[in-house]
Amino acid sequence: MSPVGSNSYKKERLTAYLGHIVNPLSDSLYEEWLDGALIVDGNGRIVDVGAWAALKKTYAAVDEIYDYERRLIFPGFVDLHIHLPQVTQVGKSGDTLLGWLEKYIFPAESRFSEPQHARQIANWFFDELPRNGTTLAVVFTTIHEEAADIAFEVAAHKGNRVVMGKVMMDRHSPPSLSEELSQSLKSSAKLAERWHGYDDNRIQYAFTPRFAITSSDDMLRETGKLWRNYPGTFVHTHLAESKEEVRSVAELFPRSRSYLDVYDQAGLVGERSVFAHAIHIDDTDLAVLSRSKSALAYCPSSNFFLKSGIFPIARVKDKGVQFGLGSDVAAGPSMCLFGVMKDANFIQPEIWISPAELLYYATIGGARALKLDHKVGSLERGKEADFVIVNPNNRSAVPGNILNHPTDEILSVLVFMGDDRMIEGTYVRGKAIYEREDSPAKKTLQKKPALQ
Ligand code: GUN
Ligand code: ZN
């Protein structure tokens, strides 16, 4: 426990992070400071951001300075859709969605009935996220209450920021991944009560019916009710990913106009609903998504991998539907949103998405879709200091003087060649949860001893 008064002391303790700050503002605009400074207080809040030459007069007495030189400082990545239990199955291809689930994913998820396995994978997963630059992830676990509880515990301990939930499945599932509806609802409510809002909302709960095929009508409807009983929580599920899946949903729910309508009739559509994929949807669905302020997770690497189709980005933007990017590991082979940004552009045959726009979707765009942009997603005074230190020189084939190129070109190299090697440090609420061994953060310029 902190001693009385330590909070105000912590608040006064300031750290300056120096580097080339790039801060996305909209899908076509970013601000930047080449010799910039991010000033963070001891509670992990951003006190100021700007040119160091101007700020250093005000903040001459900061307690610590980390000088990242010309390295880039961005807001941390927001991954709108990822599966914790699937990390052991990356790169295992050879089928489209439903066959791939049966062959690789359901057996891997069944193993989460073993708490020891659940803990081992959760530990690995929550180290990997910041290693890949992700500071906020929206996470699927499995149906197992204990495994989900362990995942929350590990994220809480390691300092990750997550929106996460226990998966719910009560039909058309293998016996090892089937649960009774009443138990599923009870476990979900228990976990939401225990974890939603933990550590000043660093951890939030998402009710997580897997998709319409593996949820009965009753499960969807009861989950809608449960969601309304826990204000501020999320719904996280899959929507219209593959054609085969859409056909199956049409057969299972003949009274619904569309796949989205299944969720809508169950009361699962609204602010803080996160729908992964949304490829095979029509304009009526888009109007419902827009009006309801739902969030879509565009998961291009996964869509390439399972040959699911192409996210209709032009129509989505045209209708004003909010969206961000999802790695969808393990259907997406990598957690790193640099690769996802590249695929987001590559998979669209007729549309060029600029690197700056892609960086927007990977950061503040995703946070906006989640309605968490008042707290995170960009580097602004008063927000929580979630940021990454990025050095493109850590990868072969990148020109040695890349950091002296125009910023648009640096961003382009990052998007088209970026991977986890370029992440040198990842901070959530001002705390380094990942630092490369050779990070310059190890050498601080100025350091005053912390008071006891
Ligand atoms: N639809 C239902 N479950 C899954 C899953 O685990 N991964 C993907 N990509 N789609 C799904
Ligand atoms: Zn998924």
Could you tell me if 271 and 371 are in contact, meaning their C-beta atoms sit under 8 angstroms apart? Answer: yes
Q: Is 398 in the pocket of ligand 1 (CB under 6 A)?
A: no
| pLDDT score of 9 | 60
Residue 185 tokens, joined: 């609802």
| pLDDT score of 12 | 86
Helices 407-417, 337-346: inter-axial angle, 10-degree rounding: 90
Q: Is 109 in the pocket of ligand 1 (CB under 6 A)?
A: no
Q: Is 142 in the pocket of ligand 1 (CB under 6 A)?
A: no
| Residues forming beta bridges with residue 426, ordered by sequence position | 388, 434
Which residues, given as ranges, of the chain have pLDDT below 50? 1-5, 452
Residue identified by tokens 């850590």 is: 394
Mutational test site, ligand 1, from 238, 249, 274, max ligand atoms within 8 Å of CB: 238
What are residue 80's phi and psi, to 5 degrees?
-80, -5
| pLDDT score of 443 | 72
Separation of 19 CA from ligand 1 center, angstroms? 39
Q: Is 105 in the pocket of ligand 1 (CB under 6 A)?
A: yes
Q: Is 83 in the pocket of ligand 1 (CB under 6 A)?
A: yes
Q: Is 296 in the pocket of ligand 1 (CB under 6 A)?
A: no
Relative to the CA of 306, which ligand 1 atom is closest?
9
> What is the C-alpha separation between 163 and 295, in angstroms, rounded?
13
> What is the C-alpha separation between 99 and 78, in angstroms, rounded?
29
Relative to the CA of 214, which ligand 1 atom is closest?
2
| pLDDT score of 8 | 60
| pLDDT score of 391 | 96
> What is the C-alpha separation between 242 and 257, in angstroms, rounded?
17
| pLDDT score of 6 | 52
| pLDDT score of 5 | 45
| pLDDT score of 106 | 98
| pLDDT score of 4 | 44
pTM tops 0.95, yes or no: yes
- Atom 8 of ligand 1: nearest residue by CA position: 331
| pLDDT score of 1 | 37
Q: Is 191 in the pocket of ligand 1 (CB under 6 A)?
A: no
